[in-house]
Amino acid sequence: MKPPGLRWLQLPKELVSIMLLLFLAYLGGVLTILSPCILPVLPFVFARSDQPFRKSGLPLLIGMVVTFALIASLATVGGGWAVRANQLGRIAALILFGIFGLTLLFSSLAERLSRPIVQFGNRLSSNSDSGSPVLNSFVLGIGTGLLWAPCAGPILGLILTGAALGGASTHTALLLLAYAAGAATSLAVALFAGGRVFAAMKRSLGAEEWIRRILGVAVLAAVVAVAFGLDRGVLTRLSLTSTGGLEQRLVDRFHPANGPKRVTANQTIDISDNASDSVPTMLPSLSGATAWINSPPLTSQSLRGKVVLVDFWTYSCINCIRTLPYIKAWNQKYKDSGLVIIGVHTPEFPFEKDESNVRKAVHDLGVTYPVAMDNDYNIWRSFNNEYWPAHYFIDATGKIRFHHFGEGSYDESEKWIRELLEEANHKPLPNSAASVAASGAETAPDMDEIKSPETYVGYERAENFASPGGLNHDAPQLYRLPSSLTLNQWAFAGKWNDGSQIAESLTTGASISYRFHARDLHLVLGPAKAGTPIRFRVTIDGKAPGSDHGVDTDAEGYGFITENRLYQLIRQQTHISDRTFRIEFLAPGAQAYAFTFG
């Protein structure tokens, strides 16, 4: 029996979860001091380490924290305008720090120059108490926040993925603020220690001017590194071996995997009862839907007396697409017996939030049952769902009786439907099962031959990227292929701009190569400009695919990107082995999202 006096310590589960996430974000920020990606901003921070921390270092770090949290929050939801605004801010910050570095390196020259901008730069580096040193430091902190590009390890990836999928919120801003505060804490410790060291060197060596010049060189070197993208290219790749493992252990310890994820063909998860603590007992509210297709809005109350199958899906997910023949067949066979199927369309990529895109996909895929658009993840969260695809089976009283995640187990799923219908109708159903017909991308995968994983092209979740120099984040970059690709490595060639979720080709002839092992290869693609088709050509091992072409390519490998969706590019007909796939875009403006296999 718990003492009554301790009841106030029993915090709600949701509050405990938020506190753990904030703590995890803070720890992730603290660990950035161990990451190579912190190196370019260290000179900006240490350049003022010889001044009082309260008037110099602290305002600088506060400016950095606030600016990073604000920019990162906007970038997750703001679209192209936010990216462009951030790029302009980075250019301004580079100019500011370039001037700052020059005044550190050539203080006598700065004193003689009369141009206002140089005088302003000299004010920022001045050791005097004139003006407002706190404001000057805060301005430098804003510049540092604009230039800081932390390596996207597991913790920051968790925060940014949740922000991109769930949209803007106070929760997201607080997590990013906690992450930046953690980084500022470790930098404050380093800055405090560095100030002591520099002060000792000045006293013992009398080398103040040389220290100043060394810091000036370091600041200018950092400006060059940031300007050429080394902070987001080479250093990001180096960081994978530094803090990634430790961060992943922290994520696993404090925040077990519960983010949105596809269940791939060779990772089917089958849970055949409702005993799981994470699954609600009763059908939750459906009021969070942002739109309804094929039906007026449905409610949990209006569905009482019906057997309900809730299918979480998204139209570019190959695993979801391959379940559709079975779901459509069940709808056709059992709808007159009281079965209601609701497809909850919860988007993974931004284009899947567009209602016109979803309506077209629903029509093209032959989905006639009700579809609830769940753009804000409200229904997803009310089910505590974690997967695409996911199926929840609800009886006539509104109780969730069974659930299944991933592909497969279709016979058992149909058995559950029949069982719940017979309970509701108090009579047996005919023994015949639903007739299922699948073709094209909807065909079941060759499970034994899938040896390549789902692979994201956007840097936020990209793995096994092999182009020399690594991915340059949110900025144009000319890439080249490595000398060879091993299984499941991929690479760009030509000029690309790689974003957190999307990579866009910027020149004619830009291409992606992938060394894969599977019967089918799919790629989620779209045109950067709606209504402008983009022609492409695919090859396998340097040759036209011939009979191994997919439904969206011909025997010569040619096809067109006409809309945002999943494209089946390869379906091998004969012996399956490791092959090198290449897609070349014959015009700029192609957007690539993710590879999937079957």
Which residue's entry shows tokens 């007396």?
305
Give the model confidence (pLDDT) of 518-538 as tens digits: 999 999 999 999 889 999 999
Give the model confidence (pLDDT) of 111-158 as tens digits: 554 344 444 445 544 444 444 667 778 887 787 777 665 554 555 555
Which residue's entry shows tokens 């804003």?
142
Q: Residue 311: which H helix or E strand, with range? A: strand 307-313
- Asked if the model's pLDDT at residue 288 lies above 70, the reply is yes
Q: Which residues, 6+ apart, have CB-to-CB distance to 331 below 8 Å?
A: 339, 341, 368, 369
Give the model confidence (pLDDT) of 18-32 as tens digits: 677 777 778 777 777
Segment 378-394 mean pLDDT: 91
Q: pLDDT-derived band of residue 179, with 50, 70 and 90 as boundaries?
A: confident
Planar angle of CA 285, 330, 268, nearest 5 degrees: 75
Q: pLDDT-derived band of residue 323, with 50, 70 and 90 as boundaries?
A: very high
Query: What radius of gyration do the chain's Cα atoms show?
Result: 28
pLDDT at 241: 42
Give the model confidence (pLDDT) of 346-376 as tens digits: 998 888 999 999 999 999 999 999 999 999 8
The b/e string for 567-594 (b: 16+ C-beta within 10 A; e otherwise) is bbbbbbeeebeebbbbbbbebbbbbbbb
pLDDT at 438: 81
- Interatomic CA distance for residues 463 and 459, integer angstroms: 8
Give the model confidence (pLDDT) of 432-460 as tens digits: 888 888 888 888 888 889 999 999 999 98
* pTM of the predicted structure, to 2 decimals: 0.63
Segment 471-500 mean pLDDT: 95
Q: How many CA atoms lie within 13 A of 578 on its CB side?
A: 6
- Interatomic CA distance for residues 13 and 182, integer angstroms: 24
Pick the closest to residue 513 from 561, 584, 594, 566 (CA basis).
Answer: 584
- Interatomic CA distance for residues 291 and 361, integer angstroms: 15
- Interatomic CA distance for residues 437 and 416, integer angstroms: 21
DSSP characters over 198-254:
HHHHHHHH--HHHHHHHHHHHHHHHHHHHHTTTTTTHHHHHHTTTTHHHHHHHHHHH
Q: Which residue has the higher pLDDT, 504 or 234?
A: 504
pLDDT at 209: 61
Segment 150-178 mean pLDDT: 60
pLDDT at 551: 94
